[in-house]
Amino acid sequence: MTLHPGTETELAHMIREAGGPLAVRGGGTRSPGASGEALSTAGLRGVTLYEPGALTIVARAGTPLSEIRDTLAAHGQHLPFEPPEMGGLLGGSGTSTIGGVVATNASGPRRIQAGACRDSLIGVRFVDGTGAVVKNGGRVMKNVTGYDLAKLMAGSHGTLGVLTEVSFKVLPAPAVEAGLVIEGLDDASAQKAMAAALGSPFEVTGAAHLPGDTPRTLLRIGGLADSVAYRSGRLKDLMAPFGPVTIVTDADAVADDWRRIRDVAPFAGRTGDVWRISVRPSDGPQVAGRSGGDVFYDWGGGLIWALVPEGTDLRAAIGDIRGHATLIRASADTRDRLGTFHPEPAGVATLTAGLRAKFDPRGILNAGVMA
């Protein structure tokens, strides 16, 4: 049996009346991870407000991500944080919902330039574990009225409350995008090249490195046509000391490269566990080396995707890092044994546990998902 609330009021009632744990699901792209009665937000659907001239969109949490993308694209706008579609990697059958995107703070390659999902999120409505309906933030992009619970909800994996509505600051999508490719760099040189590009004023919107037989280091820029032409030329000059640079102007080719990086396509369909490691970029090559697996880099080298043999304790392999490693794809046994999320220092863990106890005193929302 799955609970299917059609309205926020129904959802609040269901949570108040719940006799045991609830496993909250959006589009079902990821495996639930929590035990208990399934609760789907699919019935809370639809864009409730879109003002292109104010760069604002508001949608119910169960709205498919594709619907948001299409609505914005019709006005030449987009979600700045480039949310991934992880269905291919995770082997799920569902499609991402906007609520699921927020609950996982899912952010793609543009995160280095435009911020994460939590940075574009300007308002939420949710039902907490007591069944209370709470709103925070709103539909305006500058708002410091009270605490920023929207950020707390982003990435909370449904453990503090069930999202019912989310608002975003959106941005004009670039009119033109171009890519720059350097072939043959080792990881350390690639990291230096990406750091130089990101330290330039040319507004790089993506910086990734794909090692392999023919390593490829990719940069992306976007904007008005003349501007993109100018900046790709300047960046090519800046990158010349690292190796021969190819400028890719074919829009489909650029889009395809970055979609593959965004969705972790290089590891889709391959056996093994998938980890996501966030470190300062200059630590990237060393951490990747210690992981012992197949890796590729996004976010200028600060995000490492690693494919390792099933059951590998990657955290033990990489040792103490300034950052964190999250288990993205693995068996339930491995998750239980290693934990999905990086352990927090004791003082922080105490605060986290305290917040959970306040927002969900019965411990019924996605219990154990973030433990």
Binding range to another protein, per CB under 8 A, among 178-186, 207-215, 227-235, 243-251:
227-235
Closest CA to 209 of 111, 275, 296, 282: 296
Rg over CA atoms, the chain: 21
Binding range to another protein, per CB under 8 A, among 30-38, 84-92, 167-175, 288-296:
167-175
Q: Which of 40, 156, 164, 232 binds another protein (CB under 8 A)?
A: 156
- Does position 201 bind another protein by CB under 8 A? yes
Cβ atoms of residues 124 and 150 within 8 Å: yes
- The number of helix segments (H) and strand segments (E) in the chain equals 14, 18
* Residues near another protein (CB under 8 A), total: 84
- Does position 213 bind another protein by CB under 8 A? no
Dihedral angle computed from the Cα positions of residues 243, 249, 251 and 254, in that order, rounded to the nearest 10 degrees: 0
The structure tokens listed for 170 are 């959106």
User: Which residue lies nearer to another protein by CB, 40 or 232?
Assistant: 232
Q: Where are the beta strands (DSSP E) in 238-356?
A: 245-248, 273-279, 294-298, 303-308, 323-329
Q: Which of 35, 67, 230, 286 binds another protein (CB under 8 A)?
A: 230
Site for another protein in 42-61 (CB under 8 A): 51-56
User: Which residue lies nearer to another protein by CB, 22 or 121?
Assistant: 121
As measured in angstroms, the least distance from the Cβ of 244 to another protein is 23
Q: Residue 125: helix, strand or coil by DSSP? A: strand
Site for another protein in 17-46 (CB under 8 A): none
As measured in angstroms, the least distance from the Cβ of 1 to another protein is 29
As measured in angstroms, the least distance from the Cβ of 287 to another protein is 10
User: Which residue lies nearer to another protein by CB, 28 or 158?
Assistant: 158
Q: Which of 115, 243, 292, 368 binds another protein (CB under 8 A)?
A: 115
- Does position 205 bind another protein by CB under 8 A? no
- Does position 319 bind another protein by CB under 8 A? no
Buried b / exposed e along 74-109 (16+ C-beta atoms within 10 A): eeebbbbbbbbbbbbbbeeebbbbbbbbbbbbbbbb
Under 8 Å CB-to-CB from 91, ≥6 apart: which residues?
none
As measured in angstroms, the least distance from the Cβ of 226 to another protein is 5
Q: Are strands 37-40 and 2-3 parallel, antiparallel or unpaired?
A: parallel
Site for another protein in 58-97 (CB under 8 A): 75-76
Q: Which of 6, 46, 289, 354 binds another protein (CB under 8 A)?
A: 354
Cα–Cα distance, 124 to 298 (Å, whole number): 29
Cα–Cα distance, 53 to 291 (Å, whole number): 46
As measured in angstroms, the least distance from the Cβ of 27 to another protein is 22
The Cα angle at residue 344 between residues 114 and 264, in degrees rounded to 5 = 45
Cα–Cα distance, 198 to 193 (Å, whole number): 9
User: Which residue lies nearer to another protein by CB, 4 or 13?
Assistant: 13
Q: Which of 47, 188, 195, 265 binds another protein (CB under 8 A)?
A: 195
Q: What angle do the packed helices 225-239 and 187-198 form, to 10 degrees?
A: 140
Q: Where are the beta strands (DSSP E) in 29-98?
A: 37-40, 47-51, 56-60, 77-78
Cα–Cα distance, 262 to 165 (Å, whole number): 25
Binding mask 273-302 for another protein (x = CB under 8 A): -----xxxxx----------------x--x
Cβ atoms of residues 301 and 194 within 8 Å: yes
Q: Which of 38, 141, 265, 268 binds another protein (CB under 8 A)?
A: 141
As measured in angstroms, the least distance from the Cβ of 87 to another protein is 22
User: Which residue lies nearer to another protein by CB, 259 or 324?
Assistant: 324
- Does position 146 bind another protein by CB under 8 A? yes
- Does position 147 bind another protein by CB under 8 A? yes
Binding range to another protein, per CB under 8 A, among 60-68, 246-254, 255-263, 340-348:
340-348
- Does position 251 bind another protein by CB under 8 A? no
